[in-house]
Amino acid sequence: MSQYQYTCRNQSGDTVKGILDAANEENVATELLQTGLTPITIQIVNTSETFDLDIAALLPSARVGLEELIIFSKQMYSLSKAGIAMIRALNGLSESTFNPTLRKAIKAVLHSLESGQPLAQALSQHPRIFSDLYVSVVHVGENSGRLDEAFLQLAGYLELERETIKRIKSATRYPTFVIIAMSIGLVIINIFVIPAFSGVFAKLGAELPWQTQVLISFSNFMLNYWPLLLLLLMGSLVGIKFWLKTPAGRYRWDGWKLKLPVLGSLFERIHLGRFCRSFSMMLRSGIPIVQGLNVVSHALGNDYMAERVRGMRQNIERGESFLQAAAMSKLFTPLVMQMISVGEETGGIDEMLAEAADFYEQEVDYELKGLADAIEPIMIIGIGAMVLVLALGVFLPLWDLSSAASR
């Protein structure tokens, strides 16, 4: 995404300026209109001239986690339902919040409300904390007079996100630990074990098989050129990091993730479940389909699938039905397509999408439970291959040591 500087007028006719992160000017204009602002000028910010390293944002204490955002949403729901004025509610929350970044954001939102801005517009000025989806639901709740219900929906949505992330971390913890242990073991063997055997073989003058020669050559390369290898590793990581920040790199990587052997289908179901849940919440809140698709495309967390969702929006704008647009996107399974068809015929697409989200989340839960079992054979094969190479390279020459020592 790029940063865009905008100038617009609010409902009172006052001039409002700010900066938003978006994919293009059209998305900026749409987001401003959603918050009740009329755009006057929208200009892209020259990132090369305004680059500023925010050290505070990199610190763990400066991040706002899902848990804190869930608590904030639940507190806002309780305060809104109790009829407490928004300025008073935010003032109290700013004093009771422990996270310094969230406290600072709440105070900034409070200041914006005191200057006459709507709540959704004030929240949109903090995109690192409040997503497009969050701001849009608040905007609908604010205009419909059901702000308490909007915060309750957001709290439930964020809780689902938290549980999904926890399940993924739990399922991938053991494979990650094994891979790290294997990598450390390979480094230790190449630095300490193989050079010791190499010295023994050299003294005895034994004729070494090609497997051993390959291991010794690789070990010598690591010992002699480890600064270069370390530099190449760090350079590759930095290069990949910057490449993933580019739109083309992020789009391509998000597409590759969906094609991974074991994890690809899991990632796809997670994002589809997120889409169905988010879009159902958008429709239930009263947001039009085209506008809801635009908002949800930014909340998917996968640029490859977001591009297909934007394609759905374009097809609907050209006059296609939601079912036809969904079929042309090739995102959904036949069962979900049938549910969407029923929802379109009965006028309950939001309910059918909520059921589709439940379906995808059940599949994700099932796959996560079997993820360790699916990855375990791959790890066993990898460990077996490593042990085989070491056995052939290290222990084969030992069988000839007796004959080499007698010469």
CATH number at residue 322: 1.20.81.30
Residue 393 has pLDDT above 50, yes or no: yes
In a domain, 191, yes or no: no
* Beta-strand relationship, 15-22 and 38-44: unpaired
Instruction: Tell me which amino acid residue 191 is.
Output: I
pLDDT of residue 50: 36
CA distances from 116 to 34, 113, 119, 233, 358 (A): 17, 5, 9, 51, 40
Q: Which residues pair with 9 in a beta bridge?
A: 15, 38
Segment 218-232, tens digit of pLDDT: 888 888 888 888 899
**For residue 14, what are the contacts with CB-CB under 8 A and spacing of at least 6?**
116
In a domain, 336, yes or no: yes
Residue 195 inside a domain? The answer is no
Look at the chain and report how many structural domains it folds into: 2
Give the containing element (helix H, strand E) for 21. Answer: strand 15-22
Q: Please give the torsion angle defined by the CA atoms of residues 239, 245, 250 and 251, in that order, rounded to the nearest 10 degrees.
A: -130
- Nearest 5°: CA angle at 406, between 403 and 407? 95
Query: What are the tens digits of pLDDT across the range 290-340?
Result: 888 887 887 777 888 888 888 998 898 888 888 888 888 888 888 888 888
Backbone angles phi, psi at 379, to 5 degrees: -65, -40
Q: Does residue 193 belong to any structural domain of this protein?
A: no
236 has pLDDT over 90 = yes
Residue 69 within any structural domain of the chain: no
Q: How far is CA 183 from the centre of its chain?
A: 26
β-bridge pairing 15-22 and 2-9? antiparallel
Residue 280 lies in a domain: yes
Phi and psi angles of residue 38, each rounded to the nearest 5 degrees, phi first: -105, 115
Segment 112-138 mean pLDDT: 85
Biggest CA-to-CA distance, the chain: 100
344 phi and psi, to 5 degrees? -70, -35
CA distances (Å), origin 374, targets 104, 174, 259, 364: 45, 12, 16, 14
The per-residue pLDDT for 55 is: 34
The conformation of residue 229, written as its DSSP 8-state character, comes to H
Nearest residue to 9 (alpha-carbon basis) of 132, 121, 135, 113:
121
Q: Which residue has the higher pLDDT, 60 or 262?
A: 262
Domain of residue 303, residue span: 264-369
Does any domain span residue 35?
Answer: yes
In a domain, 15, yes or no: yes
Closest CA to 150 of 130, 162, 135, 160: 135
Average pLDDT, the chain: 79
pLDDT tens-digit series, residues 167-194: 777 777 777 887 788 788 778 877 887 7
Q: Which residue has the tokens 């639901």?
A: 137
Tokens 């391509």 correspond to 252
Residue identified by tokens 């990632």 is: 267
**pLDDT at residue number 384:** 81
Give the model's pLDDT for residue 276: 85
1 or 358: whose pLDDT is higher?
358
